[in-house]
Amino acid sequence: GAVVSQHPSRVICKSGTSVKIECRSLDFQATTMFWYRQFPKQSLMLMATSNEGSKATYEQGVEKDKFLINHASLTLSTLTVTSAHPEDSSFYICSASKETQYFGPGTRLLVL
Amino acid sequence: AQSVSQHNHHVILSEAASLELGCNYSYGGTVNLFWYVQYPGQHLQLLLKYFSGDPLVKGIKGFEAEFIKSKFSFNLRKPSVQWSDTAEYFCAVTPDYTSGTYKYIFGTGTRLKVLA
């Protein structure tokens, strides 16, 4: 149990385009979902906390207009990187939570 | 500010050696504590967690951790490591779960390499 999926697993896009990443909890309803970035050989950096039906809470320094989060249901949250630039290239990881966070496999984004 | 420290950034062990990875947190209230493992190319997997009760917690794959409240520590141990334990290990703390938001504070991670 407690499986979290992410789609796509890898995406390459041109600078200026937008990219949507989906996070789904497959076998449980998550009250909260979290979005992280992970830089090479570093820990996870929390970007935002997403609760179903309400606005996401962004961490300090994370641009909410650039990283749009929609939490449509208790099993689905999406992160849209708008007008992506090369510096947005990273590994994006979501987690779905009841009391314990269960992590998705991550999405590697490369912006050319 | 609340923080989680993992003092060992890189650890190299031979197979069958014992392992102890340190985790200390700075928060005076009640916390939930977690250890996750990230194998190369894979996603984070939960090894074990502590919410309450017996401070010695047993997890998967022979791992255990001990919560010592007075030391603000939650060290991970394994009596005999295997080559397959090569991975990165993350400690995480939920300092404010009573609010209903189980936001983690992660440690910086410890990269373990086990030599065959």
Q: Which of A17-26, A64-73, A96-105, B97-106 has the lowest mean pLDDT?
A: B97-106
Share of chain A above pLDDT 70, in %: 99
Helices (H), chain B: none
Q: Is the pLDDT of residue B94 over 70?
A: yes
Contact A34 B32 (CB under 8 A): no
Contact A46 B43 (CB under 8 A): no
B37-76 confidence digits (pLDDT tens) = 999 888 899 999 999 999 999 999 999 999 999 999 999 9
Backbone φ and ψ of B95, nearest 5°: -85, -10
CA distance B61 to A106: 23
Region B67-96: what's the mean pLDDT? 94
Give the confidence band of B97 by pLDDT, cuts at 50, 70, 90.
low
Contact A31 B100 (CB under 8 A): yes
Chain A residue closest in CA terms to B90: A43
Give the confidence band of A1 by pLDDT, cuts at 50, 70, 90.
low
Give the list of residues 6+ apart from residue A77 with CB closer than 8 angstroms, or none: A22, A23, A33, A35, A50, A69, A70, A71, A94, A96
User: Does B72 lie at the interface with A, CB-CB under 8 angstroms?
Assistant: no
How many of the other CB atoms lie within 10 Å of CB of A98? 14
Contact A32 B101 (CB under 8 A): yes
Q: Which of A38-47, A53-62, A73-82, B97-106 has the lowest mean pLDDT?
A: B97-106
In this prediction, residue B28 carries a pLDDT of 77
Give the list of residues 6+ apart from residue B7 with CB closer than 8 angstroms, or none: B22, B24
